[in-house]
Amino acid sequence: MSTSDRDAVRAIRGGDREALVHLVQLYQGRLFGLVLMMVRNPAAAEEVTQDTFVRAYSHLDQYDDNRPFYPWLAAIAVRLSQNWLHQHSRTTRREGTALDAAPEPLADAGVLRSLIASERDRQLWQAVAALPSGERTAVLLYYREEMPVRDVAEALGVTTGTVKTLLFRARRHLHARLEAEDSIQEMRP
């Protein structure tokens, strides 16, 4: 944990609102990116990101100062995203449609283009977004958030062996999908 994070957490515990503002502004973009990839809906991602900060604030007494702050925050975000996905899937099931059949705002190329400029990055983003939920989360936490396997396992509530399996399968799926897309583009005139 960086000294500034530790100081900010201590200040928040002491009732300092400026320190809270500092941490929200520091991590909101990174956290939003993580949550958006999980829930795949920008409005829901904003909501879950806010929930994450509120939950972290109200449970700050459970945070161990000796551990890094962001992984703790990310673990809360993962749990809340999973809850959102669970509730969302239950709602869609009640309405008689499968989750996969539910419209995804990010399936709209225009929305994604506004979020990510590069075509190649968009392709990779979509490939990761199409992974099964467990693999997607493991990839995000391990690669994008650069969390060690042990922390990823803790955030997901699984063993380190399971995380390694999820990462292995994710890489295999991504290779297959990206190669398929490359060959389609090569065939285009």
Query: What whole-number distance in Å separates Cα of residue 163 and Cα of residue 48?
Result: 24
- Check: CB of residue 74 under 8 Å from CB of residue 80: no
Query: What whole-number distance in Å separates Cα of residue 26 and Cα of residue 179?
Result: 36
68 lies in the binding site for another protein (CB under 8 A) = no
Which candidate, 140, 122, 187, 123, places its Cα nearest to that of 37? 140
The 133-172 site mask, x for binding another protein (CB under 8 A), equals ------xx--xx-x------------------------x-
Sign of the Cα torsion 106, 141, 136, 174 reads positive
Helices 17-39 and 42-58: crossing angle, nearest 10°?
Answer: 140
29 lies in the binding site for another protein (CB under 8 A) = yes
58 lies in the binding site for another protein (CB under 8 A) = yes
The least distance separating another protein from the CB of residue 66, rounded to whole angstroms, comes to 25
Site for another protein in 102-131 (CB under 8 A): 115-116, 118, 121, 124-125, 128
The least distance separating another protein from the CB of residue 90, rounded to whole angstroms, comes to 24
- Check: CB of residue 116 under 8 Å from CB of residue 122: yes
Residues found near another protein in the complex (CB under 8 A): 17, 20-21, 24-25, 28-30, 32-33, 36, 42, 46, 49-50, 53-54, 57-58, 115-116, 118, 121, 124-125, 128, 139-140, 143-144, 146, 171, 174-175, 178
